[in-house]
Amino acid sequence: MAVTDAQARRALRRAEMEWDEEVEDPRKARNQRHAHHGLLSATAMAFACGNTCLRRVEDFAADLSARARRKLGLGRGPSDTTLYRLLSLQRPEGLRRTAWKKLREFYDAKVIRNDLFRLGVLSCDGKSLWASSRKTVEGAKTLHDKKHGVITSTLMSERAVLTSSSVRPCLDSEIIGAGTGESPAFRKLFPRVVEEFGGLFQVVTGDAGLTCSENARLVTGAKKYYLFTLGENLHRLYALVSSMFEGALLKAHCTELRDGDRIRRELYAITVSDVEELRFPGAQQVWMLRQTVMRNGEVQSEKVRYFLSSIPPALLTPTEQLALIRLHWGIENGHNWTMDVALDEDDRQPCQLTKDAVEVVGWLRIIGYNLLAAWRAKLPPKDGKPLSWARSKELLRDVLISNREALSATLS
């Protein structure tokens, strides 16, 4: 599929980065061949095209036209050593606001919109950022597998994704290090997202790691609704809620075929706003989802999940309630899967000298992901489905590198 001139101009315009003033150059002031922001822009654009190894980023920058490199302030092409040195010194301050500027640009251009659900939905989930059994960095969590004698250091991040948009943009991220977890990270992240993008969503969804009274109060205090998964770790609540559904009536169901399996999902909902024993802030309903996997007429597996909801019972139809549960999985199937499989976040660690370096690379990857996702959302579908991530990366790279005249004109 050839990219049209209009698509090329749009991609090139959106690839331009406006870096926040707090993104300061950590290098010495003298004898610098490459502009600081040019190096960061080239790295983020390379990440968007799937070039996540610094040697590949070097090749990507070298393939840009001479005029484009001059506009970015790059020399004949930065080496992977130059990029590594910069990433090892760069501070993360300002990268979040740089990502926000680009997101607001996408929203103003109507690329980001709530096209998958009539209410905006913000989904939050933990995401692996870095893991190693060979080294550690200050501030990382350390897990000791005594049975196998392996010590693993990890850094996680709490990600906030607008899953009601087909772009599924990542709106914010909070790093999770030693001595903390998903819930404390959420309490830092959520107020920022409300302040910057509160008008984009009305519902907040989260897995069991976020389900607690404090987080529920935080969401309802911001005049938003929550849908939290209820895990067995909350023993009293889990036992109480699971006992409520005996004899409950089916509210909605759906069936899909996948890889030869027939998957049936059934939703049950009970209003609990007047149940004093529940004692959970703002709770209006509890939901139960039963998922049954069939093959050749035989049951392969059956799972039951429970949810706490502050959404008023009349606000959503039962079909919409079922769709909302499935929508939350978009953070895993959309953002997290893409970051790991299409953009190699789990497998490629370009610079891991310090916690700051890992966080800086994480933000450059998020900026690259948002750029790629916005680009893919506007490409013509194939067989009624969005173009594959692999093909979208190829076409974006073609625009950024092969279309040299258009690139030079856009950057002029």
DSSP 117-177: -SS-EEEEEEEEEEEESS---TT-EEEEETTTTEEEEEEEEEEEEETTSTT--EEEEEEE-
Considering only residues 109 and 147, tell me which one the structure prediction assigns the higher pLDDT.
Answer: 109
Q: What is the mean pLDDT of residues 199-218?
A: 96
Instruction: Give the whole-angstrom CA distance, residue 187 versus residue 388.
Output: 35
pTM of the model as a whole: 0.92
Which residues, in sequence order, are CB contacts of 183 under 8 Å at separation 6+?
209, 210, 212, 214, 215
In whole angstroms, what is the distance from residue 385 CA to residue 396 CA? Answer: 18
For residue 308, what pLDDT band results from cuts at 50, 70 and 90? very high
Average model confidence (pLDDT) for the chain? 90
The rounded distance, in Å, linking the Cα atoms of 363 and 390 is 21
Q: Is 252 left (phi over 0), alpha (psi -120 to 50) or beta?
A: beta
For CATH 3.90.350.10, list the domain ranges present in the chain.
112-338
- Cβ atoms 58, 133 nearer than 8 A: no
- pLDDT given at position 191: 97
In whole angstroms, what is the distance from residue 2 CA to residue 4 CA?
Answer: 6
Q: How far is CA 16 from CA 20, 42, 45, in A?
A: 13, 10, 9
pLDDT digits (tens, 9 = 90+) for 23-66: 999 998 877 889 999 999 999 999 999 998 999 999 999 988 77
Please check the confidence at residue 320 and state whether its pLDDT lies above 50.
yes
Pick from 2-16, 52-66, 184-198, 231-245 the range whose average pLDDT is largest: 184-198
Phi, psi at residue 209, to the nearest 5°?
-65, -20
pLDDT at 59: 94
- When pLDDT is averaged across residues 345-363 and rounded to a whole number, the result is 91
Pairing of strands 298-309, 261-271: unpaired
| Class for the domain spanning 112-338 | alpha beta
* Helix H or strand E segment including 93: none
Helix (H, G, I), strand (E, B), or coil: what is residue 268?
A: strand
350-354 long-range Cβ contacts below 8 angstroms, 24+ apart: 350/52, 350/53, 350/54, 350/57, 350/83, 350/84, 350/87, 351/54, 351/84, 351/87, 351/88, 352/130, 352/132, 352/135, 352/137, 353/88, 353/137, 354/88, 354/137, 354/138
Which residues are paired to 306 by β-bridges? 230, 288
Q: CB within 8 A of 139, min separation 6: which ones?
A: 155, 177, 178, 355
